[in-house]
Every structure is written in structure tokens, then in C-alpha cells.
Amino acid sequence: MYLVTVSGNLLIILVVSSDSHLHTPMYFFLSNLSLVDICFTSTTVPKMLVNIQTQSRVITYAGCITQMYFYILFAVLDSFILTVMAYDRFVAICHPLHYMVIMNPRLCGLLVLLSWIMIVSLFYGTVLGVYLSSAATQNVHSSATASVMYTVVTPMLNPFIYSLRNNDIKRALQRFFGR
């Protein structure tokens, strides 16, 4: 599942960046979502695979805090990119004649940059989460299942949901692979 997630999202990034027909705001945001999904999945899955292989659940405190920081960073960034994508579709549907004026390259870059800059406010949220997490009690099995679903399954399905059902991406993939 991890390899499918990384390769699928990487393929989307390569196809969008290599095909000039896909240099539009929607695909720009989609390639950023793919990058965030790769980073998001890569924060936990490699350690999880090592734990499964070695039958060990040991992680240092510093490793845990670092992993949690990047997990939260990319989870929130994923939400911000999805919000920006929703705004893009809103403009395309509600203001089709003004779409290219509103969603100009400068605004698209600014929206993505704003999503990434949120890398400072997240620091304070992480600190707060660390202090509050010790007070929370949860069922370990249901928490682990939900964690795997959110961390592995959703990023794995995003390339299929957002792009492989799209005719523009299908044509770009055919051009990319020379068919």
C-alpha cells in the first residue's frame, strides 16, 4: 500500500509537471496534494513497517515528538490544500468567465504558499497537542485502525479519486508513456 501511495502520487506529480496541457490551477493544486500525501504517508509508514518487521514498538521520545510534528503538519497541510482545491472548483463553477482572471498564477502560488506557511502556526498547535495528549484516554485498537485508514488508505486512493478518473490526466498519461 505504501509503494502504491508513493508511486501513484509521484506519477501524478510527474505527469502534471511534464504536460503543458495540465499547467492549470486545478492540476497545480492536485500535484501539491500529491506531494503532501507522499510526505504525510512517509512520516509514519516506514517506522510502522520497521516495527512490524522487528516485532518492536519502541520509539524514542524525540522520535515520537518529531514524528507527531510532521504527522500533524502534513495532515493539516492536506486539509488546507483540499480547501484551496474546493475554492478553485467554486470559482470555476460560479464564475466561469472570470476564472482565469481570478485564479491567476500569482494567486495560485500564494494560496499554496499560505497553506505551507501555516509550517509556524502548526508548531504552536503541536506543542498544545503534546501537553493535552497525556490527559486523553482512548481505545488502542480503534485508534490504530483509524490511524492506518487515515495515514495509508486515503493518500493511496487520492491519485485514483482525483486524477485517474479524469480524462485530461488519462490523455497526459498516454502521452507520458508514449502511446
The CA distance from 73 to 80, in Å, is 11
User: How does DSSP classify residue 24?
Assistant: S
Q: Please determine, for residue 165, whether its predicted confidence score (pLDDT) is greater than 90.
A: no
| End-to-end alpha carbon distance in the chain | 27
Q: Which domains does the chain have, with CATH numbers?
A: 2-176 (1.20.1070.10)
User: How does DSSP classify residue 127?
Assistant: H
**CB atoms < 10 A from the CB of 92, how many?**
16
pLDDT in tens, 100-114: 899 998 998 898 888
What mean pLDDT, rounded, does the chain reach?
A: 81
pLDDT in tens, 38-92: 999 999 889 888 888 898 888 889 888 899 889 888 988 888 898 999 999 999 9
Grid coordinates belonging to 48: 510502522
pLDDT of amino acid 119: 67
pLDDT of amino acid 32: 93
Grid coordinates belonging to 122: 502548526
pLDDT of amino acid 126: 52
